[in-house]
Amino acid sequence: MRTMTSTQIVPLDGPLGAAVTGIDLRQALDTEQQAALRAALADRLMLVFPGQGLDLDEERQFAAHFGPLWRHPAARGRGGAASVVDSRTAPHGGRAAEFWHADASFTAQPPAYTMLSAQVLPAHGGATSFANQQLAYTHLDDAWRERLEHLGAVHEPGPQMLRRAPQLQGNVHPVVRVDPATGRRNLFVNPGFTRRFEHLSAAESRPYLATLFRVALDPSVIVDHHWQPGDLVIWDNQALLHRAHHDHGDEARVLTKVTVAA
């Protein structure tokens, strides 16, 4: 457990995450607070701030402590660095984010961090799941690790996104990513956007990717965050995969989202 004056950072049970209490995110963070939160995020990959109740502007201000805000290349207007995730208005009743993915991994430089703040929650359901890809990497045997070390994989946007923004293109990323701050390795593939290995066809890649996805999504690396009113969650978008659970029928589930550039 880390402490900074009245603030406490307590690791959650399971393979990732820490809860941060005793801090008001509406206030500017001092140097010590910023350093402690960055260290905890690098270590535990996800931080949960219960009961903050931030609006979108306040969430933007807090996110700016972690770096410049990231703008989605398919965004229209000036609000591309922040958005409202509403299951009632999202495509297919909100199920677009129900697949496992890392946000915008098809871009040349995917965002470093993603942040969600709970605005309206259903009575039941609506959790978000996270999968620790640093831990998943350790589950690979030595032969697999050696084989993957210098491989690239092609990440591409899906058909729905391309219909909205046909200018988007795919990019190649290393299958094994090395965190520049900690030196930890993690898998960097996901079922949502990874289509094939570089220099292999989609058909040739499919069985090998299926094996990696099984490792990436083993239950031992996954935690579910069950949202409570006012929760704010920030996570390492390049070390975790995530997915939404749309198991709440027609009830509203509204989260505001801000992303931070790498």
Tell me which residue of 55, 63, 2, 51 sits closest to 24, measured CA to CA. 51
Q: Which fold has domain 2-260?
A: Double-stranded beta-helix (3.60.130)
The secondary element (H helix, E strand) that includes residue 204 is helix 202-216
First to last CA, the chain: 27
Report pLDDT for 24. Answer: 96
pLDDT in tens, 128-179: 999 999 999 999 999 999 999 999 999 999 988 888 889 999 999 999 999 9
Domain chopping of the chain, boundaries: 2-260
pLDDT of 93 over the 50 cut: no
Q: How far apart are CA 224 and CA 222, in angstroms?
A: 7
pLDDT in tens, 32-87: 999 999 999 999 999 999 999 999 999 999 999 999 999 988 876 555 566 788 76
More confident call, 97 vs 3: 97
In three state form, how does the secondary structure of 33-46 look?
A: HHHHHHHHHHHHCE
Alpha helices by DSSP H, 120-199: 133-138, 142-148, 159-164
Place of tokens 């990231």: 70
User: Model pTM?
Assistant: 0.93
